[in-house]
Structure 1
Amino acid sequence: MKTRITELFGIKHPVIQGGMHFVGLAEMASAVSNAGGLGIITGLTQPTPEALAKEIAKCNDMTDKPFG
């Protein structure tokens, strides 16, 4: 299905994962992205900016699809 959202974000399905405290980690975000949606890492789940950077890097290793 092509929509403005799928074209804007380069995703297959018009599904954007909402941020979820404690579970919005690289594993969930990459799974959503790998399934064709837009996975989201919840920034406030991480205690420090450095921990967030590590989680982003981890997600990059788990998917080559877009995520936020």
Structure 2
Amino acid sequence: MKERFGIVNIVKEIQETDIPKLAHYADKEANPLYPVPKLMDASELEKFYYMLMSLTSEKGDCVL
């Protein structure tokens, strides 16, 4: 389905200097407003932004 809709594995526009602010905003918006299996704080959310910036393998999967 990702291929069908052109969903990519990385977001090249994310700047490393923006990650702390993005994680902070995501933390404030999502916690506790959205029902999720696990609540995460801003430091945990930062990891996801770094994953989105990561280089991809030949298959297009994130490489950490």
TM (norm. structure 2) is 0.29
* Highest RCO, 1 vs 2 (Cα 8 Å, sep ≥ 6): 2
TM (norm. structure 1) is 0.28
Give the greater-gyration-radius structure (CA). Answer: 2
